Structure 1
């Protein structure tokens, strides 16, 4: 078993980053890349790492990541952080449905048979919160998840 800090990011192409920048992550280990994520080390770091170790070249896998953002811009690289912070300030209970977007990343993982490296892909989907709110079941599930999240995770998810 490789140590948690043993898998470096060696190459990539990133079209639509969500609050990160590829050049800041190159050469860093899986653990170092995820260090800024609240509760990563304690709750999801080890299980995510074990998932990576278990990927077989003939069995690609995927996971999902989500967040709520104040823009429908696909490219949310860290260089746009100040602009996003300004957008958060203008959100009220009355306009949150029109101003915020539910963003989901479908992250694919495939072990390369010759090198044993892992190919990591991200496909981003997003929809206005007001559209999601029109479906009572989806809105209720999202509310339940948000209500049950530890404060640190809420903090990360809403971009503050």
Structure 2
């Protein structure tokens, strides 16, 4: 059964000024982690993936344990005052009523069951930022085991738009993220189906929709600097909506980017 949002509640790509890659803009720190109307369905899927295939959705290098611990503490601190959450000494009750045991020794796996956003840890090593840990339940065409331990340029190897110029801009962006000035952007793509867990191997052929794609997938991607370890958290809140659910302005912008439905 498809897990869909009723509407797309973020669409910065609808503004022409935000379409030039990487299309970044400031983020209010209080506006980082969201609960939307697909929370219960997405969290049930996350629970199942983490229980049945943790090796497919989780990775953490030993060197990244301090950053993971800092992120764990940061998110729990946010949830203490977040609407719908109840944080107790050993467990958190989510807005959907599910009680999640707190396991600080498994920080990313625990966080993956608490919030809708996937969470990736990027840490500076030499001149680049390297993916050192992640809980990634909703990959859009990539596999965590191929990317963990690699820098940004290697992670984006199969992306044709990620040329040397864009790579340099993105690296400057990561270098320049301030603790008190997080940033965000969003992408948007047409999809033939509504599957959220869509990993793919590098070099594997990508299926193309036959006819008009009925779904729109958009990722709200945030960049947040942790103050102690200086790691950058790259969070990905995935929305999947029916194309017909776009507002007229969103539909017009989407068609300008990807073409009108056939």
Same fold (TM over 0.5): yes
1:1-160 superposed matches below 5 A: 6-78=128-200, 85=207, 88=209, 91-92=210-211, 96=212, 99-132=213-246, 135-146=247-258
Contact kept, 8 Å, 2:138 with 2:238, in 1: the verdict is: yes
Secondary structure of 2:253 counterpart: helix
Distance 1:15 1:114, change over 3 A: same
Secondary structure of 2:193 counterpart: coil
Which whole-Å deviations, capped at 9, do the CAs of 1:78-107 have from their partners, x for residues lacking one?
17xx8x72x73xx32xxx2xx531111001
Tell me by how many angstroms 1:31 deviates.
0.9
Whole-angstrom CA distance in 2 between matches of 1:110 and 1:33:
19
Which runs of structure 1 show a deviation greater than 6 angstroms over 4 or more consecutive aligned residues? Answer: none
Higher-Rg member (1/2): 2
Whole-angstrom CA distance in 1 between matches of 2:194 and 2:126:
34
Contact kept, 8 Å, 2:129 with 2:171, in 1: the verdict is: no
Contact kept, 8 Å, 1:5 with 1:32, in 2: the verdict is: no
Contact kept, 8 Å, 1:109 with 1:120, in 2: the verdict is: yes
TM-score by length of 1: 0.72
Which whole-Å deviations, capped at 9, do the CAs of 1:29-82 have from their partners, x for residues lacking one?
011111211121245222122111110112221111221111111111117xx8
> Gapped runs of 5+ residues in structure 1?
148-160
Tell me by how many angstroms 1:10 deviates.
0.9
TM-score by length of 2: 0.46
Distance 1:30 1:5, change over 3 A: farther
Secondary structure of 2:228 counterpart: coil
RMSD: 2.7
Tell me by how many angstroms 1:26 deviates.
0.6
